[in-house]
């Protein structure tokens, strides 16, 4: 059974930059025969420089948390 979709999402200010970047990289998935396998980190690095990310290590770690959660949802849908 699908999880209910929240009617309202609260974004904490400290997470806003990472969430915006996740939306920017949302078209940069590497895919295999079974579907998405992870983000293309070469494209992620390019976007970090394009949008002048001050702390790329912290941003990548935040993206990896979201990437992992997204992959878990995508694998349930297959």
Whether residue 55 has pLDDT greater than 70: yes
Residue 6 within any structural domain of the chain: no
Q: In terms of Cα–Cα distance, which of 28, 47, 46 is closest to 38?
A: 28
How many domains are there within the chain? Answer: 1
- Domain residues for the domain of 75 are 46-78
The pLDDT, as a whole number, for residue 15 is: 94
3-12, 24-33, 44-53, range with the lowest pLDDT = 3-12
User: Which residues are registered as beta bridge partners of 36?
Assistant: 31
Answer yes or no: are the C-beta atoms of 74 and 36 closer than 8 Å. yes
> What are the φ and ψ backbone dihedral angles of 76, each rounded to 5 degrees?
-70, -30
The pLDDT, as a whole number, for residue 2 is: 73
Q: Is 75 helix (H, G, I), strand (E, B) or coil?
A: helix
Average pLDDT score over residue span 16-36: 94
Q: Is 46 helix (H, G, I), strand (E, B) or coil?
A: helix
Whether residue 51 has pLDDT greater than 90: yes
> What are the φ and ψ backbone dihedral angles of 60, each rounded to 5 degrees?
-65, -40
The pLDDT, as a whole number, for residue 56 is: 97
Residue 1 within any structural domain of the chain: no
């Amino acid at each position: 059974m699908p999880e209910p979709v929240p009617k309202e999402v609260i974004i904490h200010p400290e997470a806003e930059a990472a969430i915006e970047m996740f939306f920017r990289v949302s078209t940069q998935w590497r895919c295999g025969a079974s579907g998405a396998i992870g983000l293309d980190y070469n494209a992620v690095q390019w976007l970090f420089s394009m949008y002048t990310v001050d702390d790329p290590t912290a941003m990548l770690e935040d993206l990896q948390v979201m990437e992992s959660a997204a992959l878990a949802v995508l694998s349930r849908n297959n």
